[in-house]
Amino acid sequence: MIRSPDLQKLFSRRAAFLAGGQALLMSALVGRMYYLQVVESDRYATLADENRINLRQLAPPRGRIVDRFGVPVAENQQNYRVQLVPEDVKGRDIGDVLGLLTRIVTLSDSDRRRVIREVRRNRAFVPVTIKENLSWSEVARIEINTPDLPGLMIDVGRSRTYPFGTHAAHVLGYVAAVSETDQDEDPLLKLPGFRIGKAGVERVHDLALRGTGGSSEVEVNAFGRMIRELSRREGAPGAEVMLTLDVGLQEFISKRLGDDSASVVVMDVRNGDVLAMVSSPSYDANAFNRGLTTAEWRQLVSDERTPLINKSISGLYSPGSTFKMMVMLAALERSTITPETKILCIGEYELGDAKFHCWRKHGHGFVDAKRAITESCDVYFYEVAKRTGIDRIAATAKKFGIGVASGIDLPGEQAGLMPTREWKKRTRNEPWHGGETLITGIGQGYVLTTPLQLAVMTARIANPSGSAIKPRLTRALSGQPVAPVEVEKLDFAAANMDLIRNGMDRVVNQPTGTARRSQTGISGFDMAGKTGTVQVRRIGKLEREQGVRKNSDLPWRERDHALFVAYAPVDNPRYAIAVVVEHGGGGSTAAAPIARDILIEAHRRNSAGSDALASASAVTAGRPNSEKADPALPAADPPPARQGT
């Protein structure tokens, strides 16, 4: 039994231990509170502010794209969009609200499913975009019916627009939403609805056109709802890109081509500026910005005329007789022939057991260099190609840009192909055959070019200083001129270059020229050129004996390609042009008239006010793509039995 004094001591000792423990705990608590409230006060104040204040990125206005005269070809416009705030629907079914909205604007089933999916995913106060790019009429109808459309509101943003629609789509490209493969360190790419360049100039200069993002500090509550904006810093708009294009000429060409599947490139001979680059048919870049429907996409990808492809830089074609200047020049430079060398054409050329035909069935007789280009004699070029050799021809052609990527500031350019013995051995492990040299001599066989390469070739032929002109599309960035690319001199004899130019002059301006019906009719603005007609099917021996079918009797896919290259004016070259009309038939009837009309328009735009020019413009205005033959002139287009013209 514990005595009372002992019990008192035990109680006192336990009370002392308890009091000490409490004091220790209180000291720890006070110390911790001091540490948090005094020592770490700044840190926790910052964390509290970060939870209360959100920093949001602001998208800057995308930079404009203008043509060489400052005409906007890609700019920003107000984008009216209808949004849904789920918490404001006030007990109504969201599906019912969307159903009422479909009476005013068109909503697909996929649109409705997307909206409902985003509503379920986000908080109730976060707006969900239902549809963008509303017309003013649609906006007005929605506003009038607001009492019956709870939760809907109109928001105004910015949207990319292309004022010239289809006329420059392949050059400008388009913008579209950011995909997973496009993500990088730029925080702008994470903004909802932010768009970047996906093709053309929009893609090449995307970083400059984006600009620098701004920021907004907003106060939010515990649920993330914005209470007020505390501060705002606007970003820097994107740079303005000035192109070398003349959009007026671009539009003229697009309309001139009409429904043809074709490509046209116009260059300034003096500095390489691309004045026009048209690929037909085209597409509306505005449709990509707003979002293509499934039906629209299927129509674009199923069209046999390939509207999504920029034929000017990605279309690969045999150059046909437009290549004959390269064969001639290679032979002259190596002294394989002289300008006076004459070759007999009897309508066909034999090599071993094979026969190679001229477009003129009964031949041209004895042909020299000038006449060979003027009348496009195939047999002459068979023989010249055989004497010169494929490797020498290829070396000359590459100096003029054939089979070599030009490096133009556009994505997707194809390099084409200029074959050699080494190329065939390396790629096919086969030797080069003599017959392949003959076919290359008239621009067929393995050789492949783009319309841009043909324009570059023509510009280099026409350039009076003999420079290897290179094409360019960008003229200035943010008001700072972009200097033309430094070019080297072409090391060809002046006399040989003059002969080539004279031959091209005779093609158009002599009575026997294959393009004589496409003269400009403007004093001081004569055009020099070369026609080309490329077979896309093999003509067998039986068909030759029974009569070769005309292009008009063939399915579209089996008709010849029509080509024409030219420069003007002859005495002081300013413009070079290449025209390719897919399955258009003869180069002299389908492509040459188009080139003539375009060069006249380019001249008119550069020297408005000339009476002679106004008269010529009146003649060419409204002229159809395929002209009727003039009964007073002999047929300029060779018969379909030709190998090349």
Pick the closest to residue 458 from 340, 381, 382, 563 (CA basis): 563
Radius of gyration of the chain from its Cα atoms, rounded to whole angstroms? 36
d(CA 201, CA 136): 30
Full DSSP string of 328-355: HHHHHHTTSS-TT--EEE-SEEEETTEE
Indicate the residue type of 620: T
d(CA 525, CA 621): 18
Beta strands in 140-273 (DSSP E): 152-161, 175-177, 195-197, 214-220, 226-233, 241-243, 262-268
d(CA 395, CA 442): 16
Beta strands in 358-477 (DSSP E): 365-367, 474-477
Query: Could you tell me if 350 and 379 are in contact, meaning their C-beta atoms sit under 8 angstroms apart?
Result: no
User: How many other CB atoms sit within 10 Å of the CB of residue 236?
Assistant: 13
Pick the closest to residue 62 from 220, 198, 175 (CA basis): 175
Element (H, E) at 534: strand 528-534
Query: Could you tell me if 577 and 584 are in contact, meaning their C-beta atoms sit under 8 angstroms apart?
Result: no
Sign of the dihedral defined by the CA atoms of residues 192, 197, 202, 208, in that order:
positive
Pick the closest to residue 324 from 275, 282, 378 (CA basis): 378
> Would you please indicate which residues are annotated as catalytic (active-site) residues?
321
The residues with which 81 forms a beta bridge, in sequence order, are 155
Q: Tell me how many degrees the CA angle 522-526-531 measures, rounded to the nearest 5.
A: 125
Query: Could you tell me if 296 and 287 are in contact, meaning their C-beta atoms sit under 8 angstroms apart?
Result: yes
